[in-house]
Amino acid sequence: MDFSQHLYGIGLPGPRREGPVEAMGFKAGNLARMAAIGLPVPQAFVLGTPLCQAFSADPEAFRPTLRKLLESQIERLEAACGLEFGAGRKPLLVSVRSGAPVSMPGMMDTILDVGLTDATLRGLLRMTGNPRLVWDSYRRLIQQYAEVVHHLPSAPFRNALAHCMAQSGAQRPQELDFRALTRLARSYLEIFEGLSGTPFPQDPLEQLHRATEAVFDSWMSPRAVEYRRMRRIDMQMGTAVTVQRMVFGNAGGTSGAGVGFSRDPATGENRLYLDFRFNSQGEDVVSGQHSAPDTVRLASSLPHVQARLQSVAEILEREFGDVQEFEFTVQDGILYLLQTRSAKRTPWAALRIAVEQVNAGLWSPARALGILGDVDLQGLVRSCIGDASGHPLLARATPAGLGVAVGVIALDPAEACAHADAGRDCILVRDDTSTEDLRGIAAAQGILTARGGRTAHAAVVARQLGKACLVGCAELNIDLPRRSLTIGNTPLQAGDLITLDCASGHIYAGAVPVIRERPDAWLKQVAAWFSHATTAS
């Protein structure tokens, strides 16, 4: 097979080449569309899904071909960026991202900062003059490479980070200075070698090759397989891989990373919905391991970026004809777009958006009915909190979904599935929002986490499934070995009843009464569309 026909470029020299979504993947296809209409997208090349299929069929036989393809394409990327991969001066760093032909948020892997080594970090330091950026990026690469390529545990790296923060008196990783990050990166190198039995690779092309293979392999990760089963997605299509020039949200106080929705994906309200973290990379926001505390401050600190995001949201809706979820990075006050896709939304939001888009003349009734095809309109209700008197308010968290959930506490996905199998409603309570918990998220009525933001991949999936979801509850502490937890000052056990209210973000002890309402006015409009379509046919 001539695999060169399945290579694609975004912002690269030579003839512009795009491909069908089945080969290029929806993520890369959308990046190419954004770049074509003048939105700020970093340059990239794309390895199409047939390469994933060839690699999966015979990895050993395909490896030499894959390496040659990567070498040829990285040269194109170098020419577009004016940087050199693996160079001691002006080094090019890249992200290696998955991208199936259909949206699978957080189900496959990404590795950032690929190409950073002991040698190239000196070049990056000369180029940026920012030692904190350099060492922060290096420690991130070492950990991601360890977890994704070698499948090593994250706990040793997390423990080293916690120790470093304690020594430095830092509350958040962003508060660590470059000296602390230098020590941390060096300790990560030792941890990597101790766990893997090999030194961290200092050949940038080896990093790129192994990272690409790992992303191909993530097509068959357990969470990806389970998600495809749940959504009835073809198991054979494979994933494309996008190799893209790095932009750095961890470059300082005018940099950061975020996720935006052009409309509220929980309620359907026509307003920009953002999560943002200053001095961070994108995985900090979407991984579910961190909160996104800087959304409000973005508007006051970088008002030009906030205004640009509002206009970008409107442009994306017009271009793609649907509500969009987009990922972005701000480097030194400059906005870059890294992804867009049709937004996962609650069934309630899907109905409201469809009605409002038809009323505004932007969608035809037929198109709206097509988009609502998977929504159970007959069973669509929104739950609201009833009389909560007599039920102690335990704490408050950040709403990331819609409605109310009442159930017994489950502390892991297996426990949530066992409760569901027994016919008991449950609340999955976890430290982080993680897509590894997909089966438990699907089984539970609601999700409560100590960390994470509204736009973490797992929160996005929970919202699409119509689950009540509260994230970032700072007053939640879980003791897994004892199967116990505290919320605020109240001790609880697995199996105790709690209530989550996504309207207020409140968490109550016990089962608070629930009021259910139907969107009758909207449903009446949809019924009229059906009636008209039936009459017309």
3-state secondary structure 118-152: CCHHHHHHHHHCCHHHHHHHHHHHHHHHHHHCCCC
**Tokens describing residue 156:** 């040793």
**pLDDT exceeds cutoff 70 at 419:** yes
- Phi and psi at 392, nearest 5°, equal -60, 135
pLDDT of the residue at 536: 62
**Tokens describing residue 54:** 């060839």
Tell me what the mean pLDDT of segment 167-177 comes to.
92
**pLDDT category, 356, cuts 50, 70, 90?**
very high
pLDDT of the residue at 15: 56
* CA atoms of 112 and 246, how far apart (whole Å): 7
CB-based burial label for 361 (10 Å; 0-12, 13-18, 19+): exposed
**pLDDT category, 17, cuts 50, 70, 90?**
low
Which residue type does 369 have? L
Contacts of 248 by beta carbon, 8 Å cutoff, 6+ apart: 133, 137, 255, 281, 329, 331
* CA atoms of 462 and 358, how far apart (whole Å): 27
**Tokens describing residue 490:** 């109240």
CA triplet 279, 284, 290: central angle to 5 degrees?
105
Bridge partners of 327? 259, 339
Q: 194-239 pLDDT, tens per residue?
A: 999 999 999 999 999 999 999 999 999 998 998 898 888 888 899 9
**Tokens describing residue 473:** 């509850």
Q: What average pLDDT does the chain have?
A: 93
* CA atoms of 522 and 264, how far apart (whole Å): 17
Tell me what the mean pLDDT of segment 165-185 comes to.
94
pLDDT of the residue at 202: 97
**pTM of the prediction?**
0.88
**pLDDT exceeds cutoff 90 at 184:** yes
Contact 242, 99 (CB under 8 A): yes
Tell me what the mean pLDDT of segment 278-305 comes to.
85
* Higher pLDDT pick, 533 / 84: 84
pLDDT of the residue at 368: 94
**pLDDT exceeds cutoff 60 at 537:** no
- Largest Cα–Cα separation, the chain: 73
Contact 117, 202 (CB under 8 A): yes
**Tokens describing residue 89:** 């001066």
* Percent above pLDDT 70 for the chain: 98
Tell me what the mean pLDDT of segment 86-110 comes to.
91
3-state secondary structure of 226: helix
Look-up of token digits 């001095």: 279
The H-or-E segment that residue 509 falls in is strand 506-509
* Percent above pLDDT 90 for the chain: 81
Which residue type does 489 have? N
